[in-house]
């Protein structure tokens, strides 16, 4: 590891120990070491399959026009190349390091763009899933969420009873995963904004920071003086270039985050 990387790791650990209210923001990059493709990294899904980008934008349109077709498509493999096996994926050392920092009361929450539920699997307790959780369904009328396994979707398909309906208000259910073009659910958007407005440290991990409104959260934190914003990413992002982050620790989240945790532990025992 380069000397300047080691220096930034020490600096980040010191800031975490001193922070009053630290939060983490994460993106697809933190899960690539768990075998889940990101979109825009060098081996990302859209880098390899540009047509998947366009298809993703049509998906929500299909839902609005015809929820039954959306569900039929979702239950078949007609959606084209996917992110990998989300059900089988396991958290990697990056997810585990964030969960441990929360357990040590040094991190208040993780706000993630990821839909893969790996922060929860790693043991993080306060996870705001900004773009939803693939294991859940959400009512588009009242916002109620259900575990996917509470519904036998294949059975509903066989009985020609798709789309599934909300048990509270009979509204139509879609996957909790927020599609391109779909508004961010109000509850998680408001909670995430409140975290960005209150934090004094933001640790941003594995995101290209180009998907809005998520990518505006660091700028919200930047508005206040004294807030420390650290990026851990494989490459520079608009946050790096526009000076929204104080510095970038360039490398893999699965290596840098455990190194920050180790340094935090060292500081706490000295
Ligand atoms: P992105 O694909 O746009 O960017 C990922 C960033 O992480 C890139 O800058 C890449 O260089 C970097 N990166 C890749 N592997 C890394 C590693 N091991 N360590 C450090 N950095 C690494 O991802 P995004 O910014 O999260 O935006 C993509 C959108 O697509 C999100 O809104 C998300 O909802 C969705 N998505 C989710 C998943 C998932 O749930 N795991 C996967 C793909 C896409």
CA dist 100 and 52 (Å) reads: 35
* Among 9, 25, 27, 36, residue to substitute to test ligand 1 (most atoms within 8 Å of Cβ): 27
Closest CA to 176 of 236, 116, 124, 123: 116
Task: Give residue 47's pLDDT.
Answer: 73
Task: Give residue 81's pLDDT.
Answer: 47
Our answer on whether the CB atom of 176 is closer than 6 Å to any ligand 1 atom is no
Task: Give residue 218's pLDDT.
Answer: 98
Distance 121 CA to ligand 1 centre (A): 18
131 part of the active site = yes
DSSP symbols for 215-269: GGHHHHHHTSTT-EEEEEESS--HHHHTT-SSEEEES-HHHHHHHHHHHHHHHHT
Are the CB atoms for 141 and 172 separated by under 8 Å?
yes
List the chain residues with pLDDT less than 70.
46, 49-57, 77-84
Our answer on whether the CB atom of 132 is closer than 6 Å to any ligand 1 atom is no
Are the CB atoms for 244 and 219 separated by under 8 Å?
yes
Task: Give residue 37's pLDDT.
Answer: 85
Distance 27 CA to ligand 1 centre (A): 5
What pTM, to 2 d.p., does this model score?
Answer: 0.93
* Among 9, 29, 60, residue to substitute to test ligand 1 (most atoms within 8 Å of Cβ): 29
Task: Give residue 55's pLDDT.
Answer: 66
CA dist 122 and 265 (Å) reads: 19
Annotated catalytic residue: which of 49, 119, 131, 270? 131
CA dist 160 and 63 (Å) reads: 17
Return the residue whose CA atom lies nearest to atom 25 of ligand 1. Answer: 207
Distance 106 CA to ligand 1 centre (A): 24
Our answer on whether the CB atom of 124 is closer than 6 Å to any ligand 1 atom is no
Task: Give residue 181's pLDDT.
Answer: 86
Our answer on whether the CB atom of 146 is closer than 6 Å to any ligand 1 atom is no
Distance 233 CA to ligand 1 centre (A): 10
Distance 165 CA to ligand 1 centre (A): 32
Q: Please write the tens of the pLDDT for every residue from 152-181.
A: 999 999 999 999 999 999 999 999 999 888
Any idea how long the chain is?
A: 270
The pair phi, psi for residue 7, each rounded to 5°, is -65, -45
């Amino acid at each position: 590891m380069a000397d300047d990387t080691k220096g930034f790791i020490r600096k980040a650990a010191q800031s975490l120990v001193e922070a009053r209210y630290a939060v983490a923001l994460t993106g697809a990059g933190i899960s690539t070491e768990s075998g889940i493709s990101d979109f825009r990294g060098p081996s990302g899904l859209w880098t390899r399959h540009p047509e998947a980008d366009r298809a993703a934008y049509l998906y929500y349109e299909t839902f609005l026009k015809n929820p039954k077709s959306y569900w039929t498509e979702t239950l078949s493999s007609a959606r084209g190349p996917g992110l990998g096996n989300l059900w089988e994926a396991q958290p990697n050392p990056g997810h585990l390091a964030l969960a441990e920092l929360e357990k040590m009361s040094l991190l208040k929450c993780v706000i993630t763009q990821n839909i893969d539920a790996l922060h929860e699997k790693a043991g993080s307790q306060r996870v705001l899933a900004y773009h939803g959780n693939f294991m859940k369904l959400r009512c588009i009328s009242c916002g109620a969420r259900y575990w996917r396994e509470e519904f036998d979707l294949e059975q509903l398909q066989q009985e020609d009873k798709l789309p599934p309906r909300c048990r509270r208000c009979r509204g139509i259910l879609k996957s909790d995963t927020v599609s391109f073009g779909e508004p961010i659910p109000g509850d998680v958007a408001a909670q995430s904004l409140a975290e960005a407005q209150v934090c004094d440290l933001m640790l941003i991990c594995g995101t290209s920071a180009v998907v809005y409104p998520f990518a505006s959260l660091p700028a919200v934190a930047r508005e206040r003086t004294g807030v420390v914003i650290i990026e851990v990413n494989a490459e520079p992002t608009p946050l790096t270039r526009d000076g929204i982050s104080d510095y970038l620790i360039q490398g893999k989240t699965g290596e840098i985050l455990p190194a920050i945790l180790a340094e935090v532990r060292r500081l706490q025992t000295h």
